């Protein structure tokens, strides 16, 4: 907004005002009329005072903006438009761990190479040690049982660590957590989890076990060693510790092998089906310590729950089915 300055140009000012204004000019301060304009919220472009020339403050010359006037009052040179000082600093670079979406709507992060590395790190930490230990466990000449509290406590702390790692990579991806099945729990997750557990165990008992008993050697030799890793609880306190351990293990394995791994493998292979088969194979290898029977049962459970996960995208009923099945197997059916 510009004020009409014709009245100021045509009206003589007292000599005392002219002297004060000349002193302000010589000191490089803001002219009084502009200073008043800033206070009143208007912008006066120029005024020619008696005794001044157009070069001092030409009428119609572009007025300095408020920022320039403040620079002058502070004793700093004015900022020249287009200069380095006038250029805004570059924006902070985006977090390379967060996903960026291109204008075409395609996911630009993480690139395939980074995705392979990330998936390999997760498997290296959570899966490779288990596979190695499972194979080595069968070659031990005389394995010894460890205290129940020690074993179950180790499972709990290990599950918390592995689950946290999986959740961290999910968050760092920048993708919605719903993509990995991490959604708000629902009251329907409990009956759904019980139904999933019942269906998987019933199918194993009715269809898989007869096949295994016919074509594979008896599993009793493996059961004796497995009981050293999963001793049966002997007191209410041990049953309580077992319940916590099974819940932690079930949740952690579903977070890693269904929630995290299946979407990653599907994206890397370009197919949900291929990702499901590879994920099922990896999950089965983790259970080599249970012998051929345990590997096949684990493969069936991984295949069934993995296929269900790709449909419902919910971790909670699968984790409940997993933990409840482990609890019943160790606490009563072993």
Q: Is the pLDDT of residue 102 over 60?
A: no
Q: How far is CA 53 from CA 10, 14, 65, 148, in A?
A: 15, 18, 21, 98
Amino acid 15: pLDDT: 60
70 pLDDT band (50/70/90 cuts)? low
Burial string for 85-107 (b: 16+ CB within 10 Å, else e) reads eeeeeeeeeeeeeeeeeeeeeee
Amino acid 257: pLDDT: 96
Amino acid 228: pLDDT: 76
**Measured in whole angstroms, how far is the alpha carbon of residue 231 from the centre of its chain?**
37
User: 7-16, 140-149, 282-291, 307-316: lowest mean pLDDT where?
Assistant: 7-16
DSSP string spanning 3-41? Answer: ---HHHHHS---HHHHHHHHHHHHTTPPPHHHHHHHHHT
Amino acid 265: pLDDT: 96
SS (H, E, C) 211-271: HHHHHCCCCHHHHHHHHHHCCCCCCHHHHHHHHHHHHHHHHHHHHHHHHHHHHHHHHHHCC
Q: Is the pLDDT of residue 333 over 90?
A: no
26 pLDDT band (50/70/90 cuts)? low
Are residues 170 and 110 in contact, defined by beta-carbon separation less than 8 angstroms? Answer: no
User: 79-88, 216-225, 239-248, 277-286: lowest mean pLDDT where?
Assistant: 79-88
227 pLDDT band (50/70/90 cuts)? confident
Amino acid 56: pLDDT: 46
Are residues 219 and 291 in contact, defined by beta-carbon separation less than 8 angstroms? Answer: yes
Residue with the larger pLDDT of the pair 15 and 306? 306
Q: Is the pLDDT of residue 292 over 60?
A: yes
Amino acid 58: pLDDT: 45
Average pLDDT, the chain: 77
pTM: 0.66
pLDDT tens digits, residue range 105-153?
445 556 788 888 899 999 998 888 878 877 777 676 666 677 889 889 9
User: 48-57, 217-226, 259-268: lowest mean pLDDT where?
Assistant: 48-57
Residue with the larger pLDDT of the pair 316 and 99? 316
Are residues 47 and 8 in contact, defined by beta-carbon separation less than 8 angstroms? Answer: yes
Residue with the larger pLDDT of the pair 206 and 277? 277
Task: Pull the structure tokens for residue 40.
Answer: 């009143």
Amino acid 308: pLDDT: 96
Among 141, 165, 138, residue whose Cα is nearest residue 229: 138
Amino acid 134: pLDDT: 76
Q: How far is CA 171 from CA 99, 127, 163, 166, 168, in A?
A: 10, 21, 12, 9, 5
Q: How many CB atoms lie within 10 A of CB 309?
A: 23
Q: What percent of the chain has pLDDT over 90?
A: 41
Among 255, 257, 259, residue whose Cα is nearest residue 247: 255
Amino acid 208: pLDDT: 86
Residue with the larger pLDDT of the pair 42 and 270? 270
């Amino acid at each position: 907004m510009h004020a009409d300055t014709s009245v100021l140009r045509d009206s003589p000012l007292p000599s005392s005002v002219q002297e004060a204004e000349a002193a302000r000019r010589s000191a490089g301060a803001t002219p009084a009329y502009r200073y008043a304009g800033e206070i009143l919220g208007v912008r006066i472009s120029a005024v020619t005072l008696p005794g001044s020339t157009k070069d001092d403050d030409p009428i119609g010359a572009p007025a300095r903006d408020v920022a320039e006037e403040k620079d002058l009052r502070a004793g700093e040179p004015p900022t020249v438009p287009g200069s380095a000082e006038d250029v805004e600093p570059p924006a902070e670079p985006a977090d390379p761990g967060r996903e960026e979406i291109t204008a075409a709507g395609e996911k630009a992060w993480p690139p395939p190479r980074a995705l392979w590395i990330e998936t390999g790190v997760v498997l290296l930490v959570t899966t490779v040690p288990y596979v190695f230990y499972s194979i080595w466990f069968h070659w031990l000449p005389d394995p010894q049982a460890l205290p129940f509290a020690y074993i179950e406590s180790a499972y709990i702390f290990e599950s918390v660590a592995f689950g946290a790692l999986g959740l961290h990579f999910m968050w760092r991806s920048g993708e919605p957590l719903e993509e990995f099945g991490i959604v708000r729990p629902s009251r329907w997750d409990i009956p759904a989890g019980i139904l999933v557990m019942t269906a998987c165990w019933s199918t194993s008992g009715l269809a898989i076990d007869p096949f295994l008993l016919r074509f594979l050697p008896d599993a009793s030799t493996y059961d004796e060693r497995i009981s050293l890793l999963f001793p049966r609880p002997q007191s209410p306190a041990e049953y309580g510790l077992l319940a916590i351990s099974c819940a932690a293990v079930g949740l952690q394995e579903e977070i890693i092998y269904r929630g995290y791994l299946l979407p990653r493998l599907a994206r890397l292979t370009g197919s949900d089906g291929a990702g499901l088969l590879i994920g099922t194979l990896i999950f089965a290898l983790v259970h080599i310590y249970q012998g051929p029977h345990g590997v096949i049962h684990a493969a069936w459970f991984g295949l069934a729950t993995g296929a269900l996960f790709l449909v419902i995208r919910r971790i909670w009923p699968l984790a409940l089915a997993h933990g409840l099945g482990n609890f019943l197997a160790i606490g009563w059916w072993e």
